[in-house]
Every structure is written in structure tokens, then in C-alpha cells.
């Protein structure tokens, strides 16, 4: 019942890297307003932005044994995504594990639980999005699984899915949809660049998007 | 039923600017410990401080159409204050709308809901106080109202009221009370400067405020 | 019933200072995974790290009178630890009281309630760990006690206990156990330095900690 | 600054009683989806339903002095509505005050704070909607005000406004709009009776409300 | 993108009914401690217990249009399971829709959002498990989908999966695993009956489960 | 480090039983407004009221092994009080353990975590006060301690302390103070009986407690 899936498929790295440039809000919109993890998933320091392939972990509450198991499965360009099987704010991950992750090419951590050694992780510029910062220790007593589908902070994440994360939070893109989503996200970025210029020049969204007639039809009154 | 009130009264700009210098805690105390929005209204980056006239928005949950409508009503020195009609953490506002606001002279946003594009807003130094940071998109389907009285994060805000906001949170001052509150706030600042010097020199609050006798009368025992 | 205990015992200052260097996560582990205050106790700015002797305050909700009383009891190397007798997010403490604390040699504040004047406190580099940032004013009407045992954010704190606090949160160490905990914490730090080097070189925790056999015995399957 | 307003206007009692029969959900809809207090305002026992005129209380945190003051202002058909000036879950109200309320003709209590003596209040069938059940005691030290406008659980309540409360929560109706809202509420009830019969007979909302064409136009696909 | 899947597979009804008898806790254990919806999913009244096939709804926040669409897909023995695409506590469902559901043979509702008309639903004995009770109205403006996989209160639910719900909360069983889970659940019930008798007779779990030696080996000391 | 303390002192049973009659609110007031567990500790059904001697459990998160160990220490008139070492909402306790508890004379459970089998426990009239109702299973892997001092829901509880619990929540009374607290609680009950009669007859608290002059002195204005 507790398994480690060793060979997972990943999206093309250049697609992943371009998704990172688009950012969470744009990618989320581009794929039809879906894929966001819950709003309580916050970065431990401001300014991090990345995209990476998910190595998923289903772990018991307050037990970080599976993190060690998962790191062996990490390749260059991966990120760990951990969901506890029961709600937990314990500190599953700290600077030692980050050091190990980095040595494997791992890019960061997304965890619906706690993280610790914040000062060290910040200095290392090792990015983490978590639901808690808490020093509480964990044990290594009970098995979980690695690279199985998980529900993390309300979103389904399959191993190999692309995680986009920045100061706005975290978004998951299905591996097999990554390329199509990227196309839409790039179109969106281009379109926004034009809008931004017009707005900076003082033009109103009401006019740019032709909203006035529809507002009147719906019954909006100016008094 | 859905209206946009176009001509609202505002307080004198020099009064507003002086209130900004006093800060949230001082203004809140000066007007008799009232007017604070709830403690979950937090700035998206540290160090912002402002005062501005409220352009209010009553908006449906997860629908930011009225933000576009409201921006047309913004004048130099204004701030948007948005309360959803149902609890929502969706991201109503991002860098495009901030660009538009800035082109109109708008100073920032106070929103009992979500905001996104945090990295861009921080780089633009466009200040926002919100109850959530969340990339979730909104629609433009349902009307709301602009410049009507709203209850935002537990506080009544009328259009044209003065919003004071800094790292401590947000406080609202009634437009018609702004001048009187400023007088009291300035007196408080002057008084605190004196106290600060005495405390820095090692004098105790117990002595500065003559508390020892009243403490004894209430029955405090030193053991 | 309301008392101020004037002479409390403190741990040796050099032990306290060395505990600060170990940090919250390490000290918490070293004393057997205990002593953490709840995860909602967060620093008001990033990067602070300290250890200090607790001067405890049991205070009524929204009443900061006892803070003034407590500051008289503060000696060089102390920290205030305040637990309200009823849940409160009011702003018990601001830059004036911080000025007074600093003049007495006080190192900071740990409070399961609110704090205000965040911009000033940050500029002063006066560290605070709190459960809320809120400008709401307090009164001076009702007595509490100083230097009695309190339960703060879920942890028992006796006067004179050693508080360790950093970006990970807050941990309490019993005064009489401080020396023994320090020994264990230092051993832990030394051990981690070695592990960090091996991990940085690419060695896996699975091998460093000899986990593979026990994982197999528990039934973990690689597929 | 702390006042007790003695003579407030109330809506006609027969209108109030008919609003009670309509219930919270219907009245809320009838007045244009507004007026609800937040969802954390829950009844202390199931099955209560009432409407009554608001005698409002603005009270300090953990201080129930003003409840005694307010009860003198209660007339037959009134309900107390209390908002603390700072968040509080203390138990402001118990069976003694309920006995006093009942002797004055008071119908119940709506409080964005705590209540206690739940077993007694339930046996008395004295209805309370509160944000907490908590035995914590209060003091009588600080003034508040009675019969001033308050914001209670996110909604503005003026003295004399009509409060509707049942198992669904609490809704406020402006005193001067009570009659007009009642008309709309009654029309809604009549309309729902017809719909209920058709639905009980197996007819679908899709057909009763003619939704199929609009769904198709918006693009809904059946697969 | 917005679809209604019309023909879904369901588990055998007799298996479903037997799962209901086993209850949530037993079924959750029997399938390896998985499948629970989050603990905030609570029944609107005590004593309901059922199992049913899921007709799933992915609905916009505060918009219950898709509930009408879904009811047409309900067959005898089904239950609606609704997850909003953005967090919402609005009241999507009341006694009219319950009447319609019942006319179609629907057994209840599981909703990670709000429900209203609690008094009527309780009298009808129409069971609902929800994350909120709130009278707030919804609109019918935006499409969602029916009978697609959803994540509801942290758990993945596919159309046709078996939902078990009682006073302990809600558990989902994969349709294709229902029979195997039932076997394990029944074995568990039988085993517990024996344990219950021995415990009622005063035998200790320590002896029934042979725990004493393992406790001693782990180092437990009796003092 | 993990211990089971076998012989604890208890308060006199007749004192305990009389405290039960006084109830939580009265006992809490009688001992000087202290001893309450947090407001999130709620009974699983309405109407239970008891007092009992605490057998305390410090248990790992999501691990109920120590409950089995603790039940052996239970004597007639005891109650289990469990605090997890890390926040947990897992269901540590169900009807089997309740059966075992009852066979030993145990009166109930107070747990800052989850409980399950609510329907059975309600039918058995086995009272539980908990912070969660959740079916989630636990393991038996890690040791904790029995009959050591614990902090449960914010309150310090020593083994043998008297727990009072009813619909208002839970209060702890130190074993050695139980008799003195009972005297004060009984005096309070007698005093309240008199007040209740006067209030039922229409007399106001303002007059019964002589409040009018002090209110006027503090500055309350009637308008």
C-alpha cells in the first residue's frame, strides 16, 4: 500500500521555465481559472518565483520520514509537494533537507504543513510555500508514499505536474496540458502589455473593454 | 438599486496629509478608540503609510466589475475601499488596475478580500491592505455599487471618509470629524514626544503617569 | 490575589546567550521536542534571534496596566512574556513602552495578543513575537499579576524561564534545565554540521541515517 | 461620549410579528440580498424563531456593565443586540440577565461575543444568537453606550431596527423599510408555496424557471 | 469546458446500503484510513446516517444555478456533492431544492459551502453535511459542471463514488472499490463486536491487544 | 522520559459531586475567574454535566496508544483529559474505548483533539468535550505519558485536579483548592437565587447592585 514510484514523466523543461516567467495569476487564468492551491499557502520570504516538476509526498502527520525517501527521486528541476494524511503544522523540513535537495538539483518545497529553519532557508534562498512556519519536530516511524496523486491544499497534484509558485501563491498545471497552457499564458501576457500601456496613459478599463453599454443594460444608475 | 454616486465630498487635502503623518494608532486613540478595521487587514509589504479619501465599492463575491466603474470616480488623493457582499478571498485587483489607479492619482487599495500580482505591486510601491493574497480570478457579471456606505472588515465607511493606513492596519475617520480628530492627534503626538524622552532616560511609566497610588488602592501586592 | 513577585531567579547569562545561538528548532529538539509556543506566535519583522529571562505578565483583556508594572521588574537580559486572561488581539504595547524597556535593558516582548507601532519597533530593531498586529488601544483599569506562572500560547512559562525566539517562533526552557539543555543543543549543532557537509556533497539521508533496511522491513515498495 | 438614548422609534409590532413568520432567508432575499449578520452568529439551541426591535449595546471587551443599563430601556417586544468594541468571546450574559430581560418583556439576545448558562437558557427557552459559548466572566468597570448605531458581526444595526432570527442566523431590516420589506417577503412566500407543490410533484426547476435555453446560450454541453 | 455528464456508473445499491450500516469511522478504517472529507463538514442535525452515489457539482462561488442542472441527473439513491470553485459560505440550497431532490429519489446533500432553511430541512429529515449554515442568497449567472471529478473539503470525489455520512462526518469510497471495502468493513464490525463485549466485562485494551510487552520495549516506565 | 504515574491523589468525592451541581460558570467565578479551558472545547451532545478527577494524558499527534494505558489508571469517578503534543484533530476515542472506560467507572473524556462514533457515544450518554469531531483513525506507534501535568486547551491540568464540565464548557479546579472553591461557589449560588427572584419580579440590576451613582460618576449621559 505504501509505494515509491520511481520513474515519472515530466514536462519539457523549457516549457516549465517559460511558465515560471508568466507567473501564478496569469497561468491560473490561462488554463480557465483552475489549479490554485488554497490561499493559506504562503512563501516564507518575498520575491521567489519558480516553476518545477512535482515529486509528490503523501506523509503521515508529524512524520517526515518520506521526505528522505522522496529526495532520492528528485532530479534537476523538481520540487517536492507534500500533503499530510491528517492536518499537521509540524516542521517537516529545515535547512539540512534543503541542503540535500539543492545537491540533487531540487528547486524548492510546497507543503500543506509546517517548515522551520526559516532564517537559514531565507539566507540560502531556498524557496518554500507552506501553510505554517513552526519549529515542531517530527518523527520517522510510519510509512507514506512518494509519487502518487495527492490532494494538497485543496488541489489535486499528480507526480510530474508542473507547479508554478510566486508571491501570489501556488498553481498546478497538468503535465500533459503544460504546452497548451503556456501558449494561452503567453498570449495573455502579450495582451496585458498592451492594456497596461493604455491604462498608464489614462485610458479607463470601462472604455478599453467596452463595458459601458453592458453596465447600462444590467441597470447601473449614475447619480 | 445599483448606483454610482458621482460627486462626493472630501476632507481638506492638507488635513488628510497631516493625518497620515500621525499614523493609525495615534489617530485611532485621538478619536476615542474607534474606527479600526479588523486586525486581519494587513499590508502586502512593510513600510507603507498613507491617508486618502475613500471611494467605496460594494461588490459581489468574486466579481471585480465594479472596480473598473469605481476607478472613473477616483480623483487625485483617493483610495479604493472594497467590501464584498459575501465573504470572498478572490483576487479582485492586480497590477493592471493599479496602473490605471495611479494614472488617475489614486493612492492605493483597502479590500476585505484578495489581491494578486503582489511582486509587481510591491515593485510599483502601490500600497494595498487586504484580508487575503490570492491569485484567484474574478468575473464581470453582476452589478454592485460605488460610493455608497459600506461595512468593510467590521467598520462603517462612508464615501469621502478619510482612511489612514500603515503597518499597524487601517483606521477610518469620518470626513466631517477629520479636522477635529487631527487637532487631538497632533496634541497626542506632542505629548508622546515628551514621554518618549523621559522613558528613554530611564524614568518609569509608573512614575510619569502617577500610577503607584491607584495600583495600591486597587489592591496590588508586591511580594 | 494580584501580586508582583519582585525577586525571581534567572539562569546564568552566558548559558542564555549560547542558547540564543542554537536557535528555536535546535533547542526544542534538544529538550525532547517540548516547550514550543503555538505556531501563531510570529515575529513582527524577519531576522530577529534572541534568548532572555522571562518576566511574566498575566493581564486582563485589553488592559495594559500591568505592562507598566512589569517594566520596573525588568533587568538587563530580560524579556516580557504576556498572556491575557481572556483572548485579546488589542495592541498592548508600542514604541513608547519599547523605549522604556530598552532603557531598562529589556530585550523584547512575547505576547499572546496584539502589538502596534510596528514601523517604529522595526526601525528600533525591538523584537516582538505576537499573535496579532493591531492598533487597538487598551485601558488601565483592572489589575493582573507579574512574575507568576502563566500559560502563554499553549505553553507553561514560569518567571525566570529562558525564552528562545527567532524566525521559527518561540520556545521556553525551564530555568533549572537550561544548562543541561544547552549541552544537548550544542551536541546537536555539532552533529548537524557534519550532516550538512555530507548532504551538500550529495549523500542522501537514506544512507547517512541508515534508513533503507527499516523502510523495507516496514513494507515500503519501490515500483 | 458614552450615552444612553432613551426614546427610540420602533416599527409596528404586527409588521414585526409577520416578518418573524417569513424567516431569515426569505426576508434577506426580499430586501435585495442584504442585512445578514455573519455566519458565525449561531443559535444556542435549535428551533427558535423570532423578530424584535433592536436595543443596541456598544460594550467594552469582557465588560457587561452596559447590559444592565440597556435592560432598563427594553420594552415588550425588544431584543438586545450587543457588539463589543474589541473582539471578545467572554460570557456577557447568563440566566440571571435572561430572567431580568423576560420580566421586562424582552425576547432574546443577539451578541457578537460569548454567552453562558446555556443549559438554563435552553430550559427557559430564552433564545440567543452568539458568536461563542463561553463561561468566562466579565467585569463592570468601563462605560459603553446604549441605543447608538453599531456594527454587529459585519452588519450595521440602528436602534429600533427589526432583527429577524432563526436557525439560519440573523438578519436586520431597517425600521423605516420594515413594511415594504414585509410586502415583498409575503409575495415571496406565496410564490414559493406554488413552486414547492410543483417540485414535490416532480417538476424540475430547469422547467419551472425556464432555464434550459439560457444555459444552452451560455454554452453548457450535455455529454 | 462546462459539461454535464449524463450517464455515470454507480455501485450496486445493496453494497451501498450495507456501507451505510457500517458507518463513517469503520469504512474509513477499512479502506486504509483514507477518504475522509475535512472535519468542518458537519451535519445540520444529529442522527442522520446514509450512503449514496455521488452526483458531483463544480459550481461558481455564490451561484447555485448548477444545482438545478444536477437535480435532473439524480436517480433514486443518489446524493449531491458540491464543491465551489472558490471558497464560499453562501446558502446554495434550501427547502425548495430539497423538495425537488426528494421527488427524484435523492437522499441528501454534501456541500463545502452554506445551506439554509435549516428548520424546514430538519423537519423534512432531509440530511445535509455542510461547512456553513448561512441564509445568504445566490445568483444564477455563471456555468459550472455536473458529474466531473471534484475536490470537496480536501477529498477527491468522482461521480458515482459512494459517499458515507453520519454524525462523524463524511467519507468517500471509490465506486470500483466499494465491494472490497465493504468486505473489510464487515470484518471490522464483527471484530469490534467481540472486543466490545470483552471491554464491557472489564478487560483492558492493554491485554486484549497484547500491548504490554511492546510498551515496555519502547521504554514506558511505571512510577 | 515517558512515564505512567500510578498513584495520584484525588479530591474528596462528595466535594467533587457538589462542584458538579454548581456548574462551570459559577465555579469559574468562585475561584476568581480562572481555570477555563478554551471556548472551542464543546460537548458532543447537549445536557451533560459532571465533575470528576483528572487522569491526564500527554499523547503524540494522531496516536491513541496512551489512551489504552491511561484507562488502566482510571478509578470510579475519574475522567480522562488528553492534550496532544502537537495540534491534532484526529479521532482518538470512540465507542469501544468508552465501553472500556465505563467498565472502569470512568465518567467521560475531555480532549483537545478529535473524537468519533458520536452517534454511539450519544446513545450511551457517555459525555465528551472535544475540540473536534472527526472520524480520522490513529496509530499506536509512539509513547506519551499518563498522569503528568499537561496544558490542555490553554489551561494547566495536574493529575487529580477536578474537572467541571457542562454545556458552557470545561473548568479545572486545583485538587488542593477544591474544598475552598466549593464553599465560595455555594455562597454564590445562594446569592444568585435571591437575585433571580428579585429580577423575575421586575427589579433591575441597576438597582439591585446600586449601579446608578457609579455610572453617573464615570460620566454616562442619558439623552
Would you call A88 an interface residue with chain F, using a CB distance cutoff of 8 Å? Answer: yes
Q: pLDDT per residue over A154-168, tens digit each? A: 999 999 999 999 999
Q: How far is B141 from chain C (nearest CA, A)?
A: 36
Q: Is the pLDDT of residue D114 over 90?
A: yes
Q: Is the pLDDT of residue A175 over 90?
A: yes
b (16+ CB within 10 A) / e for C10-33: bbeeebbebbbebbbbbbbbbbeb
Q: pLDDT per residue over C163-216, tens digit each? A: 999 999 999 999 999 999 999 999 999 999 999 999 999 999 999 999 999 999
Chains near B (3 or more Cβ pairs under 8 Å): A, C, D, E
Q: Is the pLDDT of residue F1 over 90?
A: no
Q: What angle do CA D185, D190, D194 make, to 5 degrees?
A: 140
Residue of B172, B212, B140 lying closest to B56 (CA atoms): B172
ipTM of the complex: 0.95
b (16+ CB within 10 A) / e for E118-156: bbbbbeeebbbbbbbbbbbbbbebbbbbbbbebbbbbbb
Give the 3-state secondary structure of residue C202: coil
Measured from the Cβ of residue B186, the count of other Cβ atoms closer than 10 Å reads 16
Residues from chain B that touch C5, judged by Cβ atoms under 8 A, are 223
F60 to A139: CB separation less than 8 angstroms, yes or no: yes
Would you call C200 an interface residue with chain F, using a CB distance cutoff of 8 Å? Answer: no
Q: Is the pLDDT of residue B213 over 90?
A: yes
Average pLDDT on E86-107 reads: 97
Confidence of residue E102 (pLDDT cuts 50, 70, 90): very high
Q: Which residue of A has its CA nearest to C22?
A: A117
Q: Is the pLDDT of residue F34 over 90?
A: yes
- Using CA atoms, how far apart are residues C60 and A107, in angstroms rounded to an integer? 47
- Using CA atoms, how far apart are residues B218 and C142, in angstroms rounded to an integer? 8
F24 to D135: CB separation less than 8 angstroms, yes or no: yes
3-state secondary structure string across C8-76: CCCCCHHHHHHHHHHCHHHHHHHCCCCCECCCCCEECCCCCCEEEEEEEEEECCCECHHHHHHHCCCCC
> Do B and A have ≥3 inter-chain CB pairs under 8 A?
yes
Q: Which backbone phi and psi does C136 adopt, to 5 degrees?
A: -60, 130
C3 to B215: CB separation less than 8 angstroms, yes or no: no
F88 to A142: CB separation less than 8 angstroms, yes or no: no
Q: pLDDT per residue over F123-162, tens digit each? A: 999 999 999 999 999 999 999 999 999 999 999 999 999 9
pLDDT of residue A107: 97
| Residue listed under C-alpha cell 438554563 | D120
> Do E and B have ≥3 inter-chain CB pairs under 8 A?
yes
Would you call D222 an interface residue with chain E, using a CB distance cutoff of 8 Å? Answer: yes
Q: How far is A60 from chain F (nearest CA, A)?
A: 9
Beta-carbon contacts of residue A210 (< 8 Å; ≥ 6 apart): none
A86 to F136: CB separation less than 8 angstroms, yes or no: yes
Q: Which residue of A has its CA nearest to C38?
A: A134
Report the percent of chain D where pLDDT is more than 70.
100
D141 to C136: CB separation less than 8 angstroms, yes or no: no
Mean pLDDT taken over chain C: 97
Would you say how long chain F is, in residues?
Answer: 223
Average pLDDT on B123-141 reads: 97
Chains near C (3 or more Cβ pairs under 8 Å): A, B, D, F
- If you count residue pairs, one on C and one on D, with CB atoms under 8 Å apart, how many are there? 36
Chains near D (3 or more Cβ pairs under 8 Å): B, C, E, F
Q: pLDDT per residue over B167-189, tens digit each? A: 999 999 999 999 999 999 999 99
Q: How far is D181 from chain F (nearest CA, A)?
A: 30
Exposed / middle / buried, residue F97 (Cβ in 10 Å: 0-12, 13-18, 19+): buried
* Best of F135, F142, F144, F147 to mutate (most E CBs within 10 Å, chain E): F135
Average pLDDT on C93-109 reads: 97
Residues from chain B that touch A43, judged by Cβ atoms under 8 A, are none
Confidence of residue A42 (pLDDT cuts 50, 70, 90): very high
| Residue listed under C-alpha cell 447568563 | D94
E143 to D220: CB separation less than 8 angstroms, yes or no: yes
> Residue D122: in which H helix or E strand, if any?
helix D118-124
Q: How far is F151 from chain A (nearest CA, A)?
A: 16
Q: Give the one of C68, C118, C143 whose C-beta lies nearest to B205's C-beta.
A: C68
Q: Give the one of A46, A196, A221 whose C-beta lies nearest to B96's C-beta.
A: A196
Mean pLDDT taken over chain B: 97
Would you call E188 an interface residue with chain F, using a CB distance cutoff of 8 Å? Answer: no
C203: its cell numbers? 549523500
* Per-window interface: B 143-182 vs C, CB < 8 A: 166-169, 171
Confidence of residue F93 (pLDDT cuts 50, 70, 90): very high
E133: its cell numbers? 449554515
- Using CA atoms, how far apart are residues C90 and A214, in angstroms rounded to an integer? 46
Q: What sign results for the dihedral spanned by CA atoms A54, A55, A58, A63? A: negative
Beta-carbon contacts of residue C138 (< 8 Å; ≥ 6 apart): C62, C63, C64, C90, C91, C92
Q: What angle do CA B197, B201, B204 make, to 5 degrees?
A: 90
D154 to B151: CB separation less than 8 angstroms, yes or no: yes
D222 to E132: CB separation less than 8 angstroms, yes or no: no
Give the 3-state secondary structure of residue C78: strand
Give the 3-state secondary structure of residue B199: helix
* Per-window interface: E 10-49 vs D, CB < 8 A: 45
pLDDT of residue E56: 98
Q: Is the pLDDT of residue A133 over 90?
A: yes
- In angstroms, what is the C-alpha Rg of chain F? 20
Q: Which residue of D has its CA nearest to B155?
A: D151
Give the 3-state secondary structure of residue A154: coil
- Using CA atoms, how far apart are residues E142 and B60, in angstroms rounded to an integer? 13
Would you call A141 an interface residue with chain B, using a CB distance cutoff of 8 Å? Answer: no
Mean pLDDT taken over chain F: 97
> Do C and A have ≥3 inter-chain CB pairs under 8 A?
yes
| E86 neighbors E60 (Cβ within 8 angstroms) | yes
A220 to B117: CB separation less than 8 angstroms, yes or no: no
Q: Is the pLDDT of residue A1 over 90?
A: no
Q: Is the pLDDT of residue F85 over 90?
A: yes
Q: Is the pLDDT of residue D60 over 90?
A: yes
- In angstroms, what is the C-alpha Rg of chain A? 20
- Using CA atoms, how far apart are residues E174 and E172, in angstroms rounded to an integer? 7
pLDDT of residue C1: 80
| E69 neighbors E146 (Cβ within 8 angstroms) | yes
Would you call C199 an interface residue with chain A, using a CB distance cutoff of 8 Å? Answer: yes
Residue of E193, E196, E156 lying closest to E173 (CA atoms): E156
D64: its cell numbers? 457587561
Residues from chain A that touch F64, judged by Cβ atoms under 8 A, are none
Q: What is the DSSP pairing of strand F50-59 with strand F78-84?
A: parallel
Q: pLDDT per residue over E28-72, tens digit each? A: 999 999 999 999 999 999 999 999 999 999 999 999 999 999 999
E69 to D206: CB separation less than 8 angstroms, yes or no: yes
Residue of F141, F181, F201 lying closest to F32 (CA atoms): F181
- Using CA atoms, how far apart are residues C145 and C81, in angstroms rounded to an integer? 12
Q: How far is A25 from chain B (nearest CA, A)?
A: 5
pLDDT of residue B1: 80
* Best of B135, B137, B145 to mutate (most A CBs within 10 Å, chain A): B135
Q: How far is A116 from chain E (nearest CA, A)?
A: 24
- Using CA atoms, how far apart are residues C157 and B78, in angstroms rounded to an integer? 48
Would you call B210 an interface residue with chain C, using a CB distance cutoff of 8 Å? Answer: no
B199 to C96: CB separation less than 8 angstroms, yes or no: yes
Beta-carbon contacts of residue E144 (< 8 Å; ≥ 6 apart): E2, E57, E58, E59, E60, E63, E65, E66, E85
E87: its cell numbers? 471558497
pLDDT of residue F86: 93
Measured from the Cβ of residue D183, the count of other Cβ atoms closer than 10 Å reads 12
Q: Which backbone phi and psi does E67 adopt, to 5 degrees?
A: -65, -40
Residues from chain A that touch F84, judged by Cβ atoms under 8 A, are none
Q: Quick one: how far is CA C3 from the chain centroid?
A: 24
Q: pLDDT per residue over C112-139, tens digit each? A: 999 999 999 999 999 999 999 999 999 9
Half-sphere exposure of B153 (CA within 13 A, CB side): 24
Half-sphere exposure of B89 (CA within 13 A, CB side): 20
F85 to C34: CB separation less than 8 angstroms, yes or no: yes
Report the percent of chain A where pLDDT is more than 90.
100
> Residue C164: in which H helix or E strand, if any?
strand C162-166
Q: How far is B69 from chain A (nearest CA, A)?
A: 7
Exposed / middle / buried, residue C177 (Cβ in 10 Å: 0-12, 13-18, 19+): middle
Confidence of residue D1 (pLDDT cuts 50, 70, 90): confident
Would you call D108 an interface residue with chain C, using a CB distance cutoff of 8 Å? Answer: no
Residues from chain A that touch B130, judged by Cβ atoms under 8 A, are none
Exposed / middle / buried, residue B219 (Cβ in 10 Å: 0-12, 13-18, 19+): exposed
Q: Give the one of E46, E168, E196 whose C-beta lies nearest to F99's C-beta.
A: E196
E68: its cell numbers? 438545478
Q: How far is A155 from chain E (nearest CA, A)?
A: 7
pLDDT of residue E1: 80
Q: What angle do CA F199, F204, F207 make, to 5 degrees?
A: 120
- Using CA atoms, how far apart are residues B98 and B119, in angstroms rounded to an integer? 12
E141 to B142: CB separation less than 8 angstroms, yes or no: yes
Would you call D61 an interface residue with chain C, using a CB distance cutoff of 8 Å? Answer: yes
Amino acid at each position: 500500500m505504501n509505494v515509491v514510484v520511481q520513474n515519472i514523466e515530466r514536462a519539457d523543461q523549457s516549457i516549465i521555465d517559460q511558465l515560471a516567467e508568466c507567473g501564478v495569476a496569469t497561468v491560473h487564468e490561462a488554463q480557465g481559472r483552475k489549479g490554485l492551491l488554497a490561499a493559506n499557502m504562503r512563501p516564507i520570504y518575498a520575491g521567489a518565483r519558480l516553476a518545477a516538476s512535482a515529486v509528490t509526498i503523501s506523509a503521515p502527520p508529524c512524520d517526515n520520514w518520506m521526505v528522505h525517501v522522496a529526495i532520492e527521486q528528485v532530479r534537476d528541476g523538481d520540487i517536492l509537494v507534500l500533503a499530510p494524511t491528517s492536518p499537521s503544522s509540524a516542521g517537516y523540513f529545515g535547512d539540512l533537507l534543503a541542503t540535500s535537495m539543492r545537491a540533487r538539483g531540487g528547486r524548492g518545497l510546497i507543503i500543506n504543513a509546517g517548515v522551520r529553519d526559516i532564517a537559514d532557508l531565507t539566507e540560502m534562498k531556498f524557496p518554500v510555500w507552506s501553510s505554517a512556519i513552526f519549529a515542531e519536530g517530527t518523527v520517522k516511524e510510519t510509512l507514506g508514499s512518494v509519487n502518487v496523486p495527492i490532494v494538497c491544499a485543496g488541489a489535486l497534484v499528480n507526480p510530474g505536474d508542473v507547479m508554478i509558485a510566486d508571491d501570489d501563491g501556488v498553481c498546478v498545471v497538468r503535465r500533459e496540458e503544460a504546452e497548451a497552457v503556456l501558449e494561452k499564458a503567453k498570449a495573455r501576457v502579450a495582451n496585458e502589455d498592451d492594456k497596461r500601456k493604455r491604462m498608464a496613459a489614462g485610458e479607463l478599463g470601462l472604455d478599453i473593454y467596452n463595458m459601458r453599454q453592458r453596465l447600462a443594460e444590467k441597470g447601473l444608475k449614475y447619480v
